[in-house]
Structure 1
Amino acid sequence: MDKKPCIDSLTIKTSHVLPPDTNTHGTLFGGKLMAYMDDVAAIAASRHARKSVVTASTDSVDFLNPVFEDDTICLEAFVTYTHKTSMEVFVKAVTEDLVSSERRICAFAFLTMVAIDDDNKPTPVPQVYPESDEEKWLHEGAVRRAEYRRERRNNSKEMAEKFGTDLPWTK
């Protein structure tokens, strides 16, 4: 498989924030923003792998600035790192007040997407290489972030074993 540059997977999606997208404070539901982030990450990963993908994990999403009704939310995503069948996708969300033109970063996240074949089994993906300074910076930190995700996943598995599905308060 040929290596591909990060920029080849770049995906940009802009949406207008309408009343059904907002909570009682007039700001975008956090879950809605997370759904947008998952969607744009999946498109970027599919664009890189040219295969179907599933979400394996989402790193923490810190809501840095609110997104108000009638603002736009612009999400940018691209693959920053690949392993055998998985891809780390960086997502940046920017809100814009259409009247004042003020733009603010509202969130960042890394999502791990896994390419799957027709039998829904993980399948190999091409390697990715960075070109810009920003891409190189993200790429250089990817192994450390992957190790952290592995540790977090192992902790989640341990918790699942400990708590299981048969909890005393559910009887």
Structure 2
Amino acid sequence: MRAKTPNESLAVLTDLVLPGETNYLDNLFGGELLARMDRACSIAARRHSRRIVVTASVNHVAFNKTVPVGSVVTIEAKVSRAFNSSMEIYVDVWIEDRQSGEKTKVNEGIYTFVAVDETGKPIKIAQVNPETDLEKERYEGALRRKQLSLILAGKLNPNEATELKALFN
């Protein structure tokens, strides 16, 4: 299995925020945005693995800015790192100014997906070969984030989290 670049897994979804998808302040519901982000991440994970994929966890979501009704929203998802059967997908959310066309980053998230066979059993997938500085930064951070998640879940002894320990030494 050859390693793939993050761009080979890129998923971009662009959509309009409609009034029925907003709260009383006319901003996009957080849950609606999470669903859109999950779909984009699912496409990226599927493109990377060429397998059935399932959401394993939502590791981080930052709602940094509101998304007003009428906004054009673009969601960009890329696999930042692949492990044995799991993949970390980093997703960025942008809105476009209706007048100038200028894009502003409003949200981001980190999801974990697992590639499975037709019976739901996890299967091995190709690794990721980061190219840009941002891809390399996200790739390196993915192992630390995975180790932290495993520690919090009680599946890894903190003394074995070498990447995390290196941050403090």
TM bin, normalised by shorter chain, reads 0.7 to 0.9
- Post-superposition Cα deviations, 1:21-74, rounded to whole Å, max 9, x if no partner, equal 111110000000001111000000000000010000112211111100001110
Identity of counterpart residues, as a percentage? 39
Q: Does 1:95 align with 2:95?
A: yes
Q: Does 1:24 align with 2:24?
A: yes
Q: Which amino acid in the other structure matches residue 49 of structure 2?
A: A
Instruction: Please say which structure displays the higher CA radius of gyration.
Output: 1
The match for 2:82 is 82
Distance 2:2 2:22 in 1: 43
- Does the CA contact (< 8 Å) of 1:70 and 1:97 recur in 2? no
- Does the CA contact (< 8 Å) of 2:73 and 2:96 recur in 1? yes
Distance 1:138 1:127 in 2: 14
The match for 2:164 is none
- Does the CA contact (< 8 Å) of 2:60 and 2:111 recur in 1? no
Q: Does 1:127 align with 2:135?
A: no
Distance 2:86 2:59 in 1: 15
The match for 2:153 is 153
- Post-superposition Cα deviations, 1:52-100, rounded to whole Å, max 9, x if no partner, equal 1000011221111110000111000111101100000000001123234
Report how many residues are paired. Answer: 155
Distance 2:34 2:153 in 1: 20
The match for 1:110 is 110
Secondary structure in 2 matching 1:141? helix
Q: Which amino acid in the other structure matches residue 60 of structure 1?
A: H
User: Which segments of 5 or more consecutive residues in structure 2 lack a partner in the other structure?
Assistant: 156-169
Distance 1:30 1:24 in 2: 13
Distance 1:67 1:116 in 2: 34
Secondary structure in 2 matching 1:129? coil
TM-score using structure 1 length: 0.86
Q: Does 1:137 align with 2:137?
A: yes
Q: Which shifted more, 31-40 or 58-67? A: 58-67
TM-score using structure 2 length: 0.87
The match for 1:39 is 39
Distance 2:9 2:35 in 1: 19
The match for 2:167 is none
Root-mean-square deviation (Å): 1.3
Distance 1:14 1:52 in 2: 23
